[in-house]
Structure 1
Amino acid sequence: MHKTLSQVIPQPKGNRYSAALACVVGGLLLLSGNAYATSAHGPYAQNDFGVVGLLQTPTARMNAHGEFSINYSDTNEYRRSAVSLQVFPWLTATARYTDIRNRLYSEDPNFSGDQTLKDKAFDGKLLLWQESRYIPQIALGLQDVGGTGIFAAEYFVANKRWDLDSFGFNNWGGIDVSLGIGWGYLGQRDNITNPFCEIADRMCDRERGFSGRGGKFEIDKWFRGPAALFGGIQYHTPIQGLSVIAEYEGNNYRYDNAGVPIVPDSPWNFGVHYALNPNVSMKLGYERGNTFTFGFTFNFNFNELHQLKIEPEKRQARAESEQARPTDWSQVNYAQIANDLIEEAGWSVGCIANELNDGGSDCDQRAIQVVEQPQGAVVEIAAQQARFRDTDDAVDRAARILSDSLPRDGVAEYRITEYQGNLGLATHVIQVPAFETAYRGERFFADEQDAIRTTSAQPMQERPNLLEPHWNKNRFGWAIQPDLEQSFGNAEAFYMYQLSLKAVGWYVFDDSLMAVGEMGINLINNYDKFNYLIDGSDTPLPRVRTRVREYAENQDVWVNSLYLYNTHHLSKNVYAAAYAGYLERMFGGVGAELLHQAPNSRWAYGFDINYVKQRDPYRDFGFDDYEAFTGHASVYWRPTWLENTTLIARAGRFLAKDDGVHLELQHEFDSGIIAGAFAAFTNVSSEDFGEGSFTKGFYLSIPFDLFMLRRTKSRGTIAWMPIMRDGGQLLGRPQLYR
């Protein structure tokens, strides 16, 4: 992913792969609490494909919003590992690897040895209708889309649940019945006429295999060919977390690609699912009338994760007689206000002065001022937010501190202008009389947030009454943290990794110009398993990313980035940046960005242009011959109908000089975890692109304060691109958008 502005200003910085996945999973499990994520009956059972379902078949059930699941299943010929996320209450996304143990990754032992074939797949399930008293829950699903299509299927499925108490069987539990119709892998049994075949003859046939190099969304195959009914019953027993499963599946395994014949003795499967606790469950099954299966699932909910903090609580109002509130501006202790703001609310304000204080100040720059206006005194504060991800909470805390520390009479507003370096991000305006009324409980049903609004920040050059503050008393800073780079599905080994230490440092020349660098030190890796450094794919595209193995294998100490970064606040809501140097592990160069972003707007617009050269993987500070101009026009949109979600579209030229669009979706959960997915579509054909047909991937951005006792804005990212190719690749660079 790309560096944002908050990642290049002097503060602890999250790396691309910030910790081992196992450590993250373990930590999230500990944070996930003791409440069941879905219902009183515990987590929903997941089928062998890692989707909420029975054994081989899916159901219409959806986990709670934010539920994240890691699933493993073993069905003899197939071992499947999957992750599933309830992105929205109505959408489940699943990514899966299937280990086909009777097929080899390649017929060439010099290429992949005896590694078995690993098939990648993506699933999606969409809620069409929520269950009501008389109507079942209905869902539409797509299985194995955008991959090789070995297990590709489409389906509609409905579920209805009955508690047995309503039938007079008290304390007997309940049953959940599912019934669906499937096509493709779920429809091979062909026990019902394809209803779409009655509409158009072309829907009666379905071509097997996949087109091109795989990875396409083969829409022209959806809902075509044979169809089959499937379904089952899940009996939720009175024993907490225990359920019994019986299902009828629509696949007859006639066309499976397992490497050996699969001959079912029965279309019926039976199993038992047991949730040991809210986060761990297991299942046992007897499938096809001849095969024992097993699996387990880890669950936790991204909305419910939290970490107790050891730091000051939000202030509560005290009676006027219980506090030593100043009655005159000469009594104000500005140094104490600055200390309270950073300790309790994360606001760093630098030097402080008061125009109304005849005693003056020996500070060269003023970060807090009291300015007389016709409507009353306005307290102007310039500050950087150092620790709080929730800006509303930080502003509310600051307003309480100011209310306790400043005179009340004659004050109209507190104005906190939030900065990053020299960029004014927003001005938070607190209407003092209304805030005091709510904070001190002087009127029923009054709320502090009703007295707070956010508006655009003016550039410093347009604010002569408030001189430009300087934030960086210590110009140099650094941090060291572990870093894990990993990839899945490689030819030589399924899992490849490198554990290293990343040292990041910065030097601040002034609030607009800084130098940023990052160095990596290898600790351990399994890159010695590489059989080749450049793959043998025949592609006309420049090798902008597929040389990644050369960078990984040849350096135990390397310079990941080293560049100058300059920012400017041109006018209200308009920001600019320029940068030059080694921007990322593979490319260096110069570039600039222009961004329009208003604090209350759901839209932002930007443009960037860059000239880059490819870095020499064998020399830290050398360059190869390849060079390119790359840049994009970008639109950022936060739609009202998708809460806490940002849609990003970029159009322009990519690193391999291919032209097209990059589409991205980011959704933030209550815990601060951000789940994202992206895809790039360019003028490169799927044949020229190579395996996968187009660039796509997923990532999780995890706030570090989920693991800390003090708040921090730092983040780490775990990303997954199923196949690294050269088309549709963005430059890794600092970004202004926040």
Structure 2
Amino acid sequence: MRLPSPRRIALFGMTSAVAVVSAGLAIGENRPSLNFYGVSGLMDMPSGESQADGMLTVTSAHFGPISRTTLSFQITPRLGASFRYLGVRNWDDFRPSIWDVYYDRSFDLRYQVLKEGRYVPAVTVGFQDFVGTGVLSGEYIAATKNLNDRIKVTAGLGWGRLGSYGDIGSPFGPRPAIDAGKGGKPSFDQWFRGPAAPFAGVEWAVNDRWSIKAEYSSDDYTNEAGVRRTFERKSPLNFGIEYQAYDSLRLGAYYMYGSELGVSLQFVMNPKQRPMGGVGGPAPTPVKVRPSPTSDPDAWSPEWVAQEGAREQLIQNLNKWLEKDGIVVEAMGYDGRTAQVRIRNTRYDAEAQAIGRVARAMTAVMPASIENFEVVPLVRGMPASKVTVRRTDIEALEFTPGAADAMRARTTVSNPGAPMANLAYDPELYPKLSWSLGPYNRIRLFDQRDPFKMDVGLRFAARYEIAPGLVLAGSATKKIAGNLDEPPPDIPTGLQPVRSDVDVYDAKADPALESLTVAKYGYLGNDVYARVTAGYLERMFAGVSGELLWKPVDSKFALGAEVNYVAQRDTDGGLGFGEYDYKVATGHISAYYNFAPGFHAQVDVGRYLAGDIGATLAIDREFSNGWRVGAFATKTNVSEADFGSGSFDKGIKLEIPFAWGTGQPTRKKATTIIRPFGRDGGQKVEVDGRLYDSVRDYHASGLDDQWGRFWK
């Protein structure tokens, strides 16, 4: 089917403009910009480009009554994913409904099948809103070619809503009506079916900061402009101008569909690059080289081992060297050739850096006869691994080119094993009380009535370490301001409200006891770790939780098992349980696998808080500086009708280390979980200190990821 004349003229005009402007410009490649859907593209139309590997972007785009906020992540150099929150105002002005503003959530996937070459364009296949209600659903094939370092052109073919204007027929058959149900399900039978329509556009980078865009859109806005009449779509042409204010911020202004003005903000973050450069902090202790045995034979004598009080003095001296690094030596054992120290790292987010600092300090403190340093990091008082380095290697390699790799080749990482026969803890460390009083915030994103809600207030937290691996801890909060007590729409389900009543807790629990637990952690031998936690585990549940983890230090694979018996707490944040009178036993068998450098997968199979049975798959990408971006999905035996909106639990998890943003060493992290819907199916107990994430950073693969900071 030939395009109607006005559309053909529009496409021809854009192509002609490209040819005229491109004359005299150098050959090169433009940086991909983002469209109103938060993916690489023009305005409403996508392009064939991909963002740089690992790039995380956030866009906020608005025109007329339509607003879209999108979080996108470039999972691999070719594969990208997006989560989007849509708001359409004036939804019920013409056609009555329950909505004043219609809100919807959607997920996208994009895969770049061809990288751009000298003669070949970049080509991407995309699935827009592929698991949702279908409001934004569409598929596309888009190709983009840089004509020079200033001009790029895009052309493509769209289906679904991207095939709703100026279609050329249905090359792969009719598109069945979508059966959205409760949403959240892939619509496989719709993909690339129904009318297909072409789209095209051009982007001209006037200079390093300003660019101009024009596009021909294949989206008819059938529902928004047609059925709902939220705006008038007069033309398929869109025009825009964008300004690169900073490397991380791009602003845009647009004229959309012949009738509406639009604006956008594009935020770009690269987890691989620290905004403050490297991580600061105190300089490391210089390596102290021993005198030769012939020049000072007394220094090499092992007779010091039998001296009374030697251990206490060595621990004290070593702690003086490490105080500036936030590292505490808790225990020490030794013989004439080997010294083992058990340490607590309270500051460095790079575990290899903490190990390196301890090894340097040991060269300054330990007698010359000690050749082997065994560093055992303690996590929650539990030994996580044993890192063995030779003192001779530390002395020889400090200033050698390629020192980090050379040192790793000579370092052994093994399981903690049994403590040395004469290992003893510093008696002054236990018991120990610590507490804090500071601000807190609790955020809820993208519920059915509001994209952003938050409470702020004060949190009191205390921790009493009774003995190594045995701790009593708790926290309480007092709200100062916020709007989390404004509930989302009441959408009843057939399940116990184990999470959907969280807004009731937000409204009534003030002040509130968040948690109060006693926990015991330990290494049982044979690569097995254990945890038992009892008390008020979280805001909504109290009870007992037990966990075992089998994790060899040099293995990419681990197995775990967890059992919980809990009762649902009253909504006032106090000590009672009578309001719900609900008790449940839950538990999971978990498998963990590091299937590629920086990629982790976890599968949990078992029983969840609402009594439902099923499995959860979570996949994370972790960067060497501690950033983690992941996605998860849970499917249980709960029906769509009982689960409610979304059909099954799924979401996105972000974990950002403070050191990445501040440039100062700290182990603190900010964690955010984004769920399209806060429903009751597929929910687990929130327990602090689960074992896999506690120990794995001190195992071989975790240390390898940041071994470059051993000498820092």
Which TM-score applies when normalising by structure 1? 0.81
**Is 1:252 the counterpart of 2:220 in the alignment?**
yes
Distance 1:40 1:501 in 2: 53
User: How far apart are 1:531 and its partner, in Å?
Assistant: 8.3
Q: 1:279 aligns with which of 243, 248, 266?
A: 248
Aligned to 2:345: 385
Q: Deviations over 1:346-379 (max 9, x none)?
A: 43113xxxxxxxxxxxxxxxx334323xxxx122
Aligned to 2:210: 242
SS of match in other structure, 2:566: strand
**What amino acid is the match of 1:414?**
F
Q: 1:686 aligns with which of 599, 620, 640?
A: 640
Distance 1:719 1:443 in 2: 39
Are residues 306 and 573 of structure 1, via their aligned partners in 2, closer, same or farther at CA, if it must alter by over 3 Å? farther
**Is 1:433 the counterpart of 2:392 in the alignment?**
yes
Alignment of 1:182-581 (within 5 A): 182-189=158-165, 191-195=167-171, 197=172, 204-237=173-206, 239-256=207-224, 259-260=228-229, 264-307=233-276, 311-315=281-285, 327-328=299-300, 334=314, 335-344=316-325, 346-350=326-330, 367-372=331-336, 377-406=337-366, 411-441=370-400, 447-460=406-419, 463-467=420-424, 472-473=429-430, 475-490=432-447, 493-527=450-484, 529-530=486-487, 535-537=490-492, 539-581=493-535
Aligned to 1:151: 136
Question: Once structures 1 and 2 are overlaid, which stretch shifts more, 285-294 or 727-736?
Answer: 285-294
**What amino acid is the match of 1:370?**
Y
Are residues 403 and 193 of structure 1, via their aligned partners in 2, closer, same or farther at CA, if it must alter by over 3 Å? farther
Distance 2:125 2:191 in 1: 12
Aligned to 2:564: 610
**Is 1:95 the counterpart of 2:96 in the alignment?**
no
User: How far apart are 1:594 and its partner, in Å?
Assistant: 0.7
SS of match in other structure, 2:319: helix
Are residues 608 and 443 of structure 1, via their aligned partners in 2, closer, same or farther at CA, if it must alter by over 3 Å? closer
Are residues 382 and 84 of structure 1, via their aligned partners in 2, closer, same or farther at CA, if it must alter by over 3 Å? same
Q: 1:702 aligns with which of 642, 650, 656?
A: 656
Distance 2:120 2:449 in 1: 51
Confirm or deny: 8 A CA contact 2:447 2:677 kept in the other structure.
Answer: no
User: How far apart are 1:441 and its partner, in Å?
Assistant: 3.9
Distance 2:221 2:100 in 1: 24
Distance 1:96 1:106 in 2: 26
Question: Once structures 1 and 2 are overlaid, which stretch shifts more, 247-256 or 692-701?
Answer: 247-256
Are residues 309 and 265 of structure 1, via their aligned partners in 2, closer, same or farther at CA, if it must alter by over 3 Å? closer
Alignment of 1:632-671 (within 5 A): 632-640=588-596, 643-671=597-625
SS of match in other structure, 1:220: helix
**Is 1:727 the counterpart of 2:687 in the alignment?**
no
Question: Once structures 1 and 2 are overlaid, which stretch shifts more, 616-625 or 513-522?
Answer: 616-625
Confirm or deny: 8 A CA contact 2:514 2:539 kept in the other structure.
Answer: yes
Aligned to 1:181: 157
Structure 2 residue ranges without an equivalent (≥5): 1-26, 694-712
User: How far apart are 1:75 and its partner, in Å?
Assistant: 1.9
User: How far apart are 1:124 and its partner, in Å?
Assistant: 2.1
**What amino acid is the match of 1:156?**
I
Distance 1:285 1:443 in 2: 52
Q: Deviations over 1:641-698 (max 9, x none)?
A: xx21211110000001000001112222344222222111001111221111111122
SS of match in other structure, 2:235: coil
Identical pairs, percent: 28
Q: Deviations over 1:185-218 (max 9, x none)?
A: 11123533444x2xxxxxx122344421112122
Q: In the comparison of the two structures, how many residue pairs are matched?
A: 650
Are residues 443 and 669 of structure 1, via their aligned partners in 2, closer, same or farther at CA, if it must alter by over 3 Å? closer
**Is 1:80 the counterpart of 2:40 in the alignment?**
no
Aligned to 2:13: none
SS of match in other structure, 1:447: helix
User: How far apart are 1:182 and its partner, in Å?
Assistant: 1.6
Distance 1:722 1:617 in 2: 23
Structure with bigger RCO (C-alpha 8 Å, 6+ apart): 1
Structure 1 residue ranges without an equivalent (≥5): 1-38, 164-172, 198-203, 351-366
Confirm or deny: 8 A CA contact 1:150 1:209 kept in the other structure.
Answer: no
Distance 1:720 1:96 in 2: 11
**Is 1:117 the counterpart of 2:102 in the alignment?**
yes
Alignment of 1:24-39 (within 5 A): none
Distance 1:430 1:417 in 2: 12
**What amino acid is the match of 1:283?**
G
Distance 1:658 1:723 in 2: 17
Confirm or deny: 8 A CA contact 2:163 2:218 kept in the other structure.
Answer: yes
CA RMSD of aligned residues (A): 3.1
